[in-house]
Amino acid sequence: MIEIKDKKFIPFIDSSQLDERIREMGKEISENFNGKEPIIIGVLNGAFMFLSDLSKAISVSAEVSFIKISSYQGESSTGKVKQLFGLEKDIEGREVIIVEDIVDTGLSMSYLLETISEKKPKNITIVTLLHKPEALIKDIKIDYIGFSIPNKFVVGYGLDYDGLGRNLAEIYQLKTD
Ligand code: 5GP
Q: What is the pLDDT of residue 82?
A: 56
72 C-beta closer than 6 A to ligand 1: yes
> Which residues are CB-neighbours of 76 under 8 A, at least 6 positions away?
none
Q: Separation of 35 CA from ligand 1 center, angstroms?
A: 33
157 C-beta closer than 6 A to ligand 1: no
Taking 3-state DSSP, the helix, strand and coil percentages for the chain, each rounded to the nearest 5, stand at 25, 40, 35
Task: Please tell me the distance from the alpha carbon of residue 87 to that of residue 91, in angstroms, as a whole number.
Answer: 9
Nearest to 127 by CA among 148, 105, 100, 96: 100
- Please provide the DSSP assignment of 95-123 as one string: EEEEEEEEESSSHHHHHHHHHHHTT--SE
In words, the CATH class of domain 18-149 is alpha beta
Q: What is the pLDDT of residue 133?
A: 92
Q: What is the pLDDT of residue 9?
A: 98
Angle at which helices 48-57 and 15-32 cross, to 10°: 60
Q: Separation of 104 CA from ligand 1 center, angstroms?
A: 5
Task: Please tell me the distance from the alpha carbon of residue 86 to that of residue 153, in angstroms, as a whole number.
Answer: 27
Question: Which portions of the chain are predicted below pLDDT 70?
Answer: 70-85
105 C-beta closer than 6 A to ligand 1: yes
Closest ligand 1 atom, CA of 107?
2
Cβ(155)–Cβ(102) below 8 Å: no
